[in-house]
Structure 1
């Protein structure tokens, strides 16, 4: 059987694959539209999205809001497929970005890095925008369902469940990252179970999307078998022709080996997974990169005590300046060996999914059985 489709509310993607939002400037309209055209759901990342605007340093909020509108419109010009945006709760301009995305009639808002408890208040009931929180536990999913029902009389349209093998900032304590109790294989069934009563009572389907370390078509099958309706993949889409980052950024993934991947303590107070490079070596050796903070982009960032600016470090990497940049990556980044078109990647994931079909599935009558198997 081929990969199934993924429905979130009235939206249906031909393939159950969501491209993860990657900032700063790694997943914009170019990558998102290519994924949507290939049958998945493309996602524009909003952190620092206004970096090309002339007033980025002088009016951070206005620059990012304007740039988000431009990117949504550009993506819609390139595709008729499903486009989403990723807006982190901890962004200081969270409300402005959500309002702009809704006004631009974005298909889906994905929101994590904190619990988006008040996300529905920015979206009136006439809006077609779907709201999908990103969580790292069944407890968080249950809290959101209860809060949204009591405050707004609505439920999330889906959940992305992100495990500890994801790239970038992680919603786990460092000591939990290698604990099997917090693995994605454990988290997905737990969230499916806790959401089920809300589905039954409301009559609304709430798909669960597995994220963090999903790499192959066989991985997709594994998580669908565990109850997920789809997967979110970020790292795989970096090494594509259409990824919006500089070629040097993509090549860092191709060049990475397993020893290259490391957990860093981010200035925003969370652990993060990144590819080791000269920049990280300098930071770990005690270097403090001088900077002023014109943005205050993350609510939890203690920029006065930080050795570097997380926004500028991510932006430098996106531009190809590896010596001055931080490269966030998932746990499977070392498995990437080449840069390919999005269409090629999507086709390979479909092929891998079909090839991973358990041998027992082939015993169904009519599916290429030897003649003696169906004779009395």
Structure 2
């Protein structure tokens, strides 16, 4: 048995690997284009994507739209035959507008997490853009499928199932993280059962993509054997030459030790997994002073109570100012020991996955 292709409607990825969307500015056109060129699905993060535009502080809305169009076009120029996706947090204040603009730019697929994207089909109706919600339970998958079926007469083109070992914001409580029922393989089975009635009704298969803490080919092979149509990997691609972040940001992963990985309470009210550093230690100690809202980016964020602006912290980190920010990371980030090219990472993942699938 060899790694199968990942088919999402008429989109066919030669390698069933989706590069996770990482913001702010970690996965833009350079990384997404490089992954697509190697046969996977490259994904641009749409969160505050216009942060490097000269008018970002004055006209954030237009800066984000302009940058979104630029990076989708550039990624497609890097890999003209590849698949380019966009990752958007449903909790974004500009979620609807960014979806509409992405569709106009003919992005191939939109991955939507951090909330229930119940109206996403309305925004992509009559377009070729595929839509894939990101879920953390069979219950959530069922709610989305039921709502999309009832309101829009469609079901997801694919579903990403993200387990508790992922980096970034997690769809779990602290108590759930160590519960065996929240292991990725267990959640996959939940989701398979939850979507079965909708697959039967629409006479089509919904490819399920496993995500969260996936590091090597052995992990990929295991999840393919569990029934996943593909996998989503983020952290491995953050430590690549093509990653859109600064060198200092990438070095954070190379230097990270197992004990450096920590859970944080994000200003948006969710827990997240990150690499501990001086900035996060100040936050935990209460030494990080509240600041005014820089970007008004997320619906759940209350600037009057937040200890820091998460958008600014992530932008600082992207630019290499780790004293003013931090890096999100999956549970296996400490296993990264060098910066690699996207091609080398993809080749290594495919070779070892095929070995374990034999």
TM-score grouping bracket, smaller chain normalisation: over 0.9
1:71-123: CA deviations, max 9, x gaps?
10111111120000001100000011000000001000000100100001111
CA contact (8 A) 1:2 1:350 kept: no
- 1:262 is aligned to 262
Counterpart check, 1:337 vs 2:332: no
- Counterpart of 2:228 in structure 1 is 228
2 CA distance for matches of 1:150 and 1:197?
A: 13
**Is it true that 1:304 corresponds to 2:310 in the alignment?**
no
Q: TM-score, normalised by structure 1?
A: 0.93
2 CA distance for matches of 1:234 and 1:88? Answer: 15
Output the CA distance in 2 between the equivalents of 1:124 and 1:141: 20
1:120 aligns with 2:121: yes
Q: Which residue of 2 aligns with 1:154?
A: 154
Offset at residue 290 of structure 1 (A) = 4.7
Give 1:96's aligned residue. Answer: 97
Q: Which runs of 5+ in 2 are unaligned?
A: none
User: Which residue of structure 2 lines up, in the alignment, with residue 37 of structure 1?
Assistant: 37
Number of residue equivalences: 357
After the TM superposition, which of the residue ranges 59-68 and 102-111 deviates more from structure 2?
59-68
Which residue in the other structure is 2:279 paired with? 279
Coordinate RMSD, CA, aligned = 1.0
Quote the offset at 1:63 in angstroms. 1.1
Deviations along 1:205-256, whole A, 9 cap, x unmatched?
A: 2000000011111111111111110000000101111000001111100100
Distance in structure 1 (CA, Å) of the matches to 2:252 and 2:139? 36
SS in 1 for 2:175: helix
Matched, 1:87 2:79: no
C-alpha contact (below 8 Å) 2:294/2:311 kept by paired residues: no
Match of 1:177 in 2: 177
**Alignment check: 8 A CA contact 1:192 1:228 kept:** no
TM-score between both structures, scaled by the size of structure 2: 0.98
Residue 249 of structure 1 corresponds to: 249
CA deviation string 1:8-66 (max 9, x = no partner): 01100001000000000000000000000000000000111001112211222221111
SS at match of 1:274: strand
Structure with higher Rg: it is: 1
Shift of 1:277: 0.5
Indicate conservation of the 8 Å contact 1:58/1:294, yes or no: no
Contact 2:3/2:16 (<8 A) preserved: yes
